[in-house]
Amino acid sequence: MSRKRISRKCKASYIFLGTLIVIALVGICIIGELREHLAEITEYRGREAATDIITSAVERTISQCPCEDIYKLTTDGNGAVISAKLNADSANRVKNILTEEVEKGIDKLGEDGIAIPIGTLIGIPLPAVGNNSVDLSVQQIGAVKSEFRSTLETAGINQSRLTVYAVVTVDIRAILPDGHTDISVTEEHIITDCLIVGEVPQSYFGG
């Protein structure tokens, strides 16, 4: 075998090896970008799901339990409101119902998981890739946190408005093929809003 033939074979081998290296590097870059994109989409979908769970839980809680009793208004002999105080028993009852409703929603999310369409992941219209998706499981992290916050503001001449908010925080973990993404969502919703006629209460205990 002549040296020229050997040289050509070596050159072809180098070209082939170089091509493989380039393909491998491109593949690694693509996989890295897909992983990053998957984590971003998962976080977005997870936040969206958690927000929907909290919103639905608040709506169901309001329909089950009267939230108007969370704050007790005290009046004087003339009927003027002189204080607004948190009713602990009523607040705890509403809080327990709300927390239970949120946990039910998270349990359902854990059963269903999060589905990321392949088309969304790679940026190709769905008909071109079919209905395939990446299905990710979801776990709850820690306990659901819920509390009440209230504001008392002037609402016109000789009027004030007492607004009570439910502040709910949930922490979930989406399991990815190569790790996980932790998602924390805090939502605030009005659960009761009342107009107080008269001077601003002399005593007010905010949540």
Please give the mean pLDDT across all residues of the chain: 78
Report whether 158 contacts 19 (CB < 8 A).
Answer: no
pLDDT over threshold 60, residue 30: no
- Output the pTM of the full model: 0.73
Please check whether residue 100 lies inside any domain of the structure.
yes
Q: What DSSP string runs through 45-99?
A: HHHHHHHHHHHHHHHHHHHHS-GGGGEEEEE-TTS-EEEEEE-HHHHHHHHHHHH
Please check whether residue 19 lies inside any domain of the structure.
yes
Report whether 113 contacts 135 (CB < 8 A).
Answer: yes
Q: Cα separations (Å) of 109 from 53, 78, 121, 171?
A: 9, 52, 21, 12
Confidence at 101, pLDDT banded by 50, 70, 90: very high
Please check whether residue 159 lies inside any domain of the structure.
yes
Intra-chain end-to-end CA distance of the chain, in Å: 91
Report whether 43 contacts 172 (CB < 8 A).
Answer: no
pLDDT over threshold 90, residue 10: no
pLDDT over threshold 80, residue 26: no
In degrees rounded to 5, what are phi and psi of residue 131? -100, 20
Number of compact structural domains in the chain: 1
Please check whether residue 117 lies inside any domain of the structure.
no
Helix, strand, or coil (residue 155): coil
Confidence at 123, pLDDT banded by 50, 70, 90: low
Please check whether residue 15 lies inside any domain of the structure.
yes
Please check whether residue 153 lies inside any domain of the structure.
yes
Residue with the bigger pLDDT between 6 and 122: it is 122
Query: pLDDT digit string (tens) for 36-70?
Result: 767 888 888 899 999 999 999 999 998 888 777 78
Please check whether residue 12 lies inside any domain of the structure.
yes
Query: The domain containing residue 69 runs over which residues?
Result: 3-110+137-204
Confidence at 125, pLDDT banded by 50, 70, 90: low
pLDDT over threshold 80, residue 88: yes
Count of residues in the chain: 207
Residue with the bigger pLDDT between 193 and 118: it is 193
Please check whether residue 172 lies inside any domain of the structure.
yes
